Amino acid sequence: MLNINEAKHNAIQGYKRLNEMAMKKLNHGGLLFTFSCSQVIDNQMFLSALTSAAIQTQKNVRVLYQLSQPPDHPYSIFHPEGKYLKGAVLQIN
């Protein structure tokens, strides 16, 4: 059974690899809509994975929008992991 740190590491590596593949496929000016619904990955970790993917692919990436879960998906202040839906719209140059 994975511990929480191993789960976070595996998730971050997966998001990095997945977004690297997508960034490589997009032409200059292309848009990438990317999302995470992982509780163990917070927004900053997700953005770090996207940054790593951009560095690895040597692409200039701009964040056009950051997205989070809608109002019909509330979370408890005592359970911040409940705020698990996150996304970004990226322009790949």
Point out the catalytic residue in the list 21, 37, 55, 64.
Answer: 37
Instruction: State phi, psi for 52 to the nearest 5 degrees.
Output: -60, -40
In the chain, DSSP assigns E strands to: 30-36, 61-68, 86-92
pTM higher than 0.85? yes
Q: For position 6, what pLDDT does the model report?
A: 92
Q: For position 2, what pLDDT does the model report?
A: 75
Q: For position 4, what pLDDT does the model report?
A: 87
How far apart are the C-alpha atoms of 70 and 90, rounded to whole Å? 20
Write down the residue that tokens 């993917």 correspond to: 53
Instruction: Please confirm, yes or no, whether 74 is among the known catalytic residues.
Output: no
Domains assigned to the chain: 4-92 (3.40.50.150)
Q: For position 81, what pLDDT does the model report?
A: 87
The pLDDT tens digits of the residues spanning 2-48 come to 798 998 999 999 999 999 999 999 999 999 999 999 998 999 999 99
**Which band of pLDDT confidence, cut at 50, 70 and 90, is reported for residue 1?**
confident
